[in-house]
Structure 1
């Protein structure tokens, strides 16, 4: 990652390359949290489906749709409560990573917008301004980071 950005030395000065490295670092952090959130959500969804299937077989069908018997069968063994707690823990973990994802997305977006705002200062000479487009297209091509516009 850093080596490819260091190759941009004829297109950008050292502080600009460091900003680009920071943007790439935050983008990777955001992508990691996004993947973790998705995995935990899918795990909790699958576990919920599996639990409902077993609850149907072990609780609902034997109780003949009588609510008192359903509660009795549910609390008769501690396994059902344990499964519900595992599902709740998986979902809580997904929510935790979702908050981390949103925070890292905000950090990434703020730093990206800062670079876009400062682009006139970073590439202030006319011959450097034409090289700015090459840096932006490189970042879009290599890291899927759009530096042309501030909107996501």
Structure 2
């Protein structure tokens, strides 16, 4: 919230507007944090799947007998079970994180749309109203938050 006391926008916002913009920045940061976590877990899941196939191809396939059952060979290895357990855990964890991301996104969008709908209330005097585009550009440039249009 201290970042909103920036010299470029300080004269153009009152205290209430600054608080709402601060909430908007906080919700955007929370949304971005959940999105980053989802992407990291997704990449780790892809890495584990690829590593499991490489392990099976390099270490299990050359030592396998021609007459061995492939499913027995596959599921008798504890490394495969560990990777399968990780993938199951990661899948459920990602489902939970996606719910958290959806909630954070809904909260962010609700505050953003409310700010846009009540635009006339945030700029108390004529000078602030005439210079509100400076705040719009600042929020878009610094925080990638569009408060000009829904």
TM-score, structure 1 normalization: 0.84
How many residues end up aligned between the 2 structures? 147
**CA offsets per residue over residues 7-51 of structure 1, 9 Å max, x none?**
444211111100000000011111111111101000000110110
Partner of 1:53: 54
Identify unmatched segments of 5+ residues in structure 1: none
Q: What residue in structure 2 maps to residue 6 of structure 1? A: 5
Cα RMSD over matched residues?
Answer: 2.0
Q: In the alignment, is residue 128 of structure 1 matched against residue 132 of structure 2? A: no
**If the length of structure 2 is used for normalisation, what is the TM-score?**
0.85
Q: Looking at secondary structure, tell me which structure has more helix per residue.
A: 1
- Please give the secondary structure, in 1, of the residue aligned with 2:131: helix
**1:77 Cα offset (Å):** 3.3
Between 1 and 2, higher relative CO (CA 8 Å, sep ≥ 6) is seen in 2
CA deviations over 1:108-146 (Å, ceiling 9, x no partner): 111111111111122254322112111111111211111
Partners of 1:112 and 1:147 within 8 A in 2: yes
**Structure 2 residue 139 is matched with structure 1 residue 139:** yes
Residue 45 of structure 2 contacts residue 90 of structure 2 at CA under 8 Å; is this kept in 1? Answer: yes
Structure 2 unmatched runs, 5+: none
